Amino acid sequence: MKFEQRATQNPIDRGRVVGLPLDRIDGPAKVSGAARYAYEHHQAAPNAAYGWILGASIPKGRIATIDTSEAESAEGVLAVITHKNSGALGKGEKNTATLLGGPKIEHYHQAVACVVAETLEQARDAAHLIRIRYTAEKGRYDLAEQKEQAAEPPPIQGKMPADTAVGDFAASFANAPVKIDHTYTTPDQSHMPMEPFATTAAWSGDKLTLWTANQMVAWGVKDLALTLKIKPENIRLMSPYVGGGFGSKLFLRADAVLAALGAKAAGRPVKVAMARDLMANNSVHRPATIQRIRIGADREGKISAIGHEVWSGNLQGGAPEAAALQTRLLYAGDHRMTSHRLAVLDLPEGNAMRAPGEAVGMLALEVAMDELAEQLRMDPIELRLRNDIQHNPETGEENPYSTRQLVECLREGATRFGWDRRSAQTGARRDGQWLIGMGVAAAFRNSPVMKSAAKVSVDMMGRVTVHTDMTDIGTGSYTIIAQTAAEMLGVPIDRVTVKLGDSTFPVSAGSGGQWGANSSTSGVYAACMALREKLTQNAGFNAQDDIVFEDGQIKSSGRSVSLAKAAGPKGAEAEDAIEFGEINKKFVQAAFGAHFVEAAVEAYTGEIRVRRMLGVFAAGRVLNPKTARSQMIGAMTMGVGAALMEELVVDTQQGFFANHDLAEYAVPVSADIPDQDVVFLDEIDDTSSPMKAKGLGELGICGAGAAISNAVYNATGIRIRDYPLTIDKLIGAGTASL
């Protein structure tokens, strides 16, 4: 099915199942332990051995010698995999560094060996018996030091220019009556999913089966085939449940490659789970940024010039953190410029982390807007309202937004949050020894779509089954896909079975980039439409009849035929994909929102506490308000982490992330998030997909941290432009308020 024109009235609009706040259908399996994660397929892969990954202890250089003899002779050891016996390996398209290092070492904790043994403990202990002598080379580990050597990168995601320019930014900014010019920094951040990178691998002849933690099944198959230099059709990759990914599991990781190599060497299934303290340096992370933002406006707050420059670093061949993308689209301004510069660093690979680009870009842009409002002596909401725009400000009115309710989100949020109680004077509100402040920020995230396929069948009992390689990373894919099929075929949701995460199933969009829900359900919609046509014919109706699928029946003109009867004794099935045509290029498709935060700062210690958070969002049709709310509060919580605590500390002498486990890498816990509320505005986007939905999983993190920063400033009068906002920075700044 090709989606080329605005969606008209369709079965999804009935709203009998889609749009309801239903419980997750996979919930019982998860809480009972019946859901099998990558490391837990004991019956499917019996008598499995265990692998332990050894990481490089230098960040850059070469392996001079490697002696595995002592490890190989240790009790229980079945095999030791290194570059010397792995055979010639390739590299996946999505990987910047090779997944098994040696002799060249590209970053600290790059996998250099995997010991396979009868037990996990035997494998772990034997790994410490491997003797490696390295020849270290001088590396580059400090973004600030390498900033001047940064160069323009290739097009972002292969299609967007690194730099843009409209009008004459320099002249307009220079002549603006009111202006701000500030630099903001964000640190390297780690995904830290609860489930480690884990794989169970088994061979049968030349056929490889992997159960692995992966967000994008088809990508994983392709890159594993490239890495192992085998045919993709000889790989079956399964990832039915993923215990958190946030972008870290979009790509093939070392656990999958080494489990496959280990299973081949041992001649039996092998399980590999990456040790927690290896994950931060071995896998991908969100790169640090330096961002300079300049905004010029007239005295009424109308922006005339807006410029956003971003510097980030990565391994040679890696991509930049595209933190200026939202600045190209969010606010009006006739004279504009954005640029991205990429420095080569010898740190672990930087890549996608929830809302790559916008998440850190909004940390800077939305604080800059707050600072401009202060210069203007204007309410920060009013400033945003005055610079709303209903089309792409870089390309003009011929490129409008499909829907854009930023103004409505700000106004609704202000009323619900009690924004009128905010004092414009910093440090004016106190609660005992706590200074109280309020902050606001816009939320923005592009809402892309991707081709997605599914197979839907009905059996002789009228039960519906959906097959697609879409993954569920804790976001509710099982449930919204079941809701879509139930709505389309007129059955209760408990009559639908959903099978996900298997490379033998039709290729879906996968879980990433805020495209998963809208795209994958649209693929199910397409398959259901094809199946409805078959069932309608089987039931003896004409295609021109006014057909309704409801209550397990196919109905038209006073006659009804059960779904089971129409399916027949052999059942019926159909497979199709949704492909998106030119309509997606005619409109800017993005999701919007507004974040409101009340923060308290202890006047004597500088301790920061988030007291209240409110997010108001407009993101097309909300397919399941319950799972959507769960997504948003999770994203908002990650925004708290980005604002107040998350930071991979770079040892710029030794070239690694020093705080590489959950003991030292701080993330928010329940005590840090006392009160969150989420509101969805009614919205239908008929240019987005037949579901008339948009992506929203990453929207909640975009702007949340900036709202916290603005609240802290409102409470204290201290403006911190260096994330995270830690006590030392508050105390070090000093103010009469503290």
- Which of 648, 710, 700, 670 has the alpha carbon at shortest distance from 141? 648
- The Cα–Cα gap between 365 and 371 comes to 10
Cβ-in-10-Å burial (0-12, 13-18, 19+) of 47 comes to exposed
- The Cα–Cα gap between 214 and 249 comes to 5
pLDDT of residue 31: 94
For residue 269, say if its preceding peptide bond is cis, omega within 30 degrees of 0: no
CB atoms inside a 10 Å sphere around CB 318: 21
- Render pLDDT for 643-697 as a digit per residue (tens, 0 to 9): 999 999 999 999 999 999 999 999 999 999 989 999 999 999 999 999 999 999 9
Cβ-in-10-Å burial (0-12, 13-18, 19+) of 732 comes to exposed
In this predicted structure, the answer to whether residue 735 has a pLDDT above a threshold of 80 is no
- Tokens 């005590």 correspond to 671
Could you give the 3-state DSSP secondary structure of residue 558? coil
pLDDT of residue 253: 98
- Render pLDDT for 331-374 as a digit per residue (tens, 0 to 9): 999 999 999 999 999 999 999 999 999 999 999 999 999 999 99
In this predicted structure, the answer to whether residue 711 has a pLDDT above a threshold of 60 is yes
CB atoms inside a 10 Å sphere around CB 367: 27
Beta partners for 650?
657
Q: Which two tokens stand for residue 39?
A: 């490391």
- Render pLDDT for 442-493 as a digit per residue (tens, 0 to 9): 999 999 999 999 999 999 999 999 999 999 999 999 999 999 999 999 999 9
What is the band of 734 on the pLDDT scale with cuts at 50, 70, 90? low
Mean pLDDT estimate for the chain: 97
pLDDT of residue 738: 55
- Cβ contacts of residue 418 below 8 Å, gap of 6+? none
As a whole number, mean pLDDT of residues 90-103 equals 97
- The Cα–Cα gap between 241 and 515 comes to 18
Q: 373-409 in b/e burial notation, b at 16+ Cβ within 10 A? A: bbbbebbbbebbebbebebbbbeeeeebbbbbbbbbb
Report domain 38-138+196-275's class. Answer: alpha beta
Whether residue 549 contacts residue 11, with contact meaning beta carbons closer than 8 Å, is answered with yes
pLDDT of residue 584: 80
Q: Which residues are marked as active site? A: 698
- Render pLDDT for 394-432 as a digit per residue (tens, 0 to 9): 999 999 999 999 999 999 999 999 999 999 999 999 999
Q: Where in the chain is the domain with CATH 3.30.365.10?
A: 2-35+449-584, 38-138+196-275, 391-444+589-738
- The Cα–Cα gap between 310 and 306 comes to 14
Q: 67-77 in b/e burial notation, b at 16+ Cβ within 10 A? A: ebeebeebebb
pLDDT of residue 737: 47
Where would I find the H helices in 41-81? 69-72
Question: Residue 619 to residues 18, 423, 518, 581, 593: CA-CA distances in angstroms?
Answer: 15, 31, 11, 21, 8
- The Cα–Cα gap between 238 and 241 comes to 9
- The Cα–Cα gap between 521 and 69 comes to 53
- Render pLDDT for 614-648 as a digit per residue (tens, 0 to 9): 999 999 999 999 999 999 999 999 999 999 999 99
Q: Which two tokens stand for residue 517?
A: 């829900």
Name the strand (E) or helix (H) holding 609.
strand 608-618
Chain center to CA of 120: 31
- The Cα–Cα gap between 315 and 572 comes to 51
CB atoms inside a 10 Å sphere around CB 271: 27
CA torsion sign for 53, 56, 62, 64 is: negative
Give the residue with greater pLDDT, 585 vs 506. 506
Could you give the 3-state DSSP secondary structure of residue 459? coil
What is the band of 66 on the pLDDT scale with cuts at 50, 70, 90? very high
- Render pLDDT for 149-194 as a digit per residue (tens, 0 to 9): 999 999 998 899 999 999 999 999 999 999 999 999 999 999 999 9
Chain center to CA of 654: 30
In this predicted structure, the answer to whether residue 54 has a pLDDT above a threshold of 80 is yes
As a whole number, mean pLDDT of residues 275-299 equals 98
As a whole number, mean pLDDT of residues 109-120 equals 98
In this predicted structure, the answer to whether residue 304 has a pLDDT above a threshold of 90 is yes
Sheet holding 178-186, edge to edge: 164-166, 335-344, 303-314, 289-297, 178-186
Domain 2-35+449-584 has CATH 3.30.365.10: yes
Write the DSSP string, 286-299: BPPEEEEEEEEE-T
pLDDT of residue 542: 85
What is the band of 585 on the pLDDT scale with cuts at 50, 70, 90? confident
Q: Which two tokens stand for residue 354?
A: 């929830």
What is the band of 326 on the pLDDT scale with cuts at 50, 70, 90? very high
Whether residue 413 contacts residue 419, with contact meaning beta carbons closer than 8 Å, is answered with yes
CA torsion sign for 535, 539, 540, 543 is: negative
pLDDT of residue 543: 72
What is the band of 732 on the pLDDT scale with cuts at 50, 70, 90? confident
Q: 675-692 in b/e burial notation, b at 16+ Cβ within 10 A? A: ebbbbbbebebbbbbbbb
- The Cα–Cα gap between 593 and 444 comes to 6
In this predicted structure, the answer to whether residue 102 has a pLDDT above a threshold of 50 is yes
Q: What percent of the chain has pLDDT over 70?
A: 99
As a whole number, mean pLDDT of residues 510-531 equals 97
Could you give the 3-state DSSP secondary structure of residue 185? strand
**CATH assignment of 391-444+589-738?**
3.30.365.10
What is the band of 736 on the pLDDT scale with cuts at 50, 70, 90? very low
Where would I find the H helices in 129-216? 143-146, 169-175
Could you give the 3-state DSSP secondary structure of residue 362? helix
